[in-house]
Amino acid sequence: MPDRPLLIAHRGASGYLPEHTQEAKALAYAMGADYLEQDIVASRDDVLIVSHDIHLDRVSDVATRFPDRHREDGRFYVRDFDLAELRTLNIHERLNQDASGPAFPGRFPVDKGNFGIVTLQQEIELIQGLNRSTGRNVGLYPEIKAPAWHRQQGVDVSSLLLAVLDQYGYRSKQDPVFVQCFDAQELKRVRGVLGCRLRLIQLVGENDWGESATDYDAMKSSRGLVDVARVADGIGPWIEQLYTPAEIDGQPVSSGLVRMAHDAGLQVHPYTFRADALPSGFDSYHELVSWFVDELGVDGLFTDFTDLTLDVLDSLG
């Protein structure tokens, strides 16, 4: 891997093509990503699907094709469909929360294109095939989505994930894989009970997001990060947890989380760097990426824009 922060394609080249489609992954690969991210959920027939949400309605035409298959909350769940049914869906650009329009208006048109659902096995075979034909060694970065919810639905998504990774030769910390999860108890289970020897990343959210029962406020302390390091090899924090915008001189101020994580022996791979959604305190994408690399010293970056991020990294030498 290069002597610079790792370039992790967030849901593929999702700034240009609908997220988690094979087209988005192939484009991110061609743009020079070091790792491609896979969010993992399970279908009704226990096939692992690459999809950011346990729901389908914001990224597909499921409501049109299967109008009566929603649950009481009005949502359409991946878990309620067999793979054969999922393959009939057209995947499109992500809609906003109320489905009134695209989440990112300047991206690929919602009503254009013909994109399909992707299984984890399909994606691994795409990446391994490209690695063979290009001579590169691009890695996987799967996320175990909602493991407690999946168990309530009768499936152990973590065990299924590790079995598929093992099938394709990913077994140790020397292999180009990071497994990530928001649920701290699940990561402990993956390491201790399931015996996973791959590199693990503890995702760090906010307590009010509802991602899991994990107390992220406690985790973002020196003691909390030492506890994380007993299980995981790194953390994946939200970028806005790593700084506060300056009120006087215009320069952001570090929150100290990167330093504390490094002191605990953890890598830091923040999410998500988007050229079309700059966080507060930054006037350009170049300024954003360069500050996190030069000032904070992050070890990797999740980005929707692999090419733009690589341009900044190359400019920094």
- In three-state secondary structure terms, 36 is strand
d(CA 143, CA 50): 9
Give 46: exposed, middle or buried? Use CB within 10 Å, 0-12, 13-18, 19+. Answer: middle
DSSP state of 79: G
Long-range contacts for 91-96 (Cβ within 8 Å, ≥24 apart)?
A: 91/18, 91/20, 91/21, 91/59, 91/60, 91/115, 91/116, 91/117, 92/18, 92/59, 92/60, 92/61, 93/18, 93/19, 93/59, 94/18, 94/19, 94/58, 94/59, 95/57, 95/58, 95/59
165 and 185 Cβ atoms separated by less than 8 Å: no
Would you call 309 helix, strand, or coil by DSSP?
A: helix
Using CA atoms, how far apart are residues 161 and 2, in angstroms rounded to an integer? 27
Q: In the 8-state DSSP scheme, what is residue 300?
A: E
Q: Which residues are catalytic?
A: 10, 52
Give 44's DSSP letter: T
What are the phi and psi torsion angles at 26 (to 5°)? -65, -40
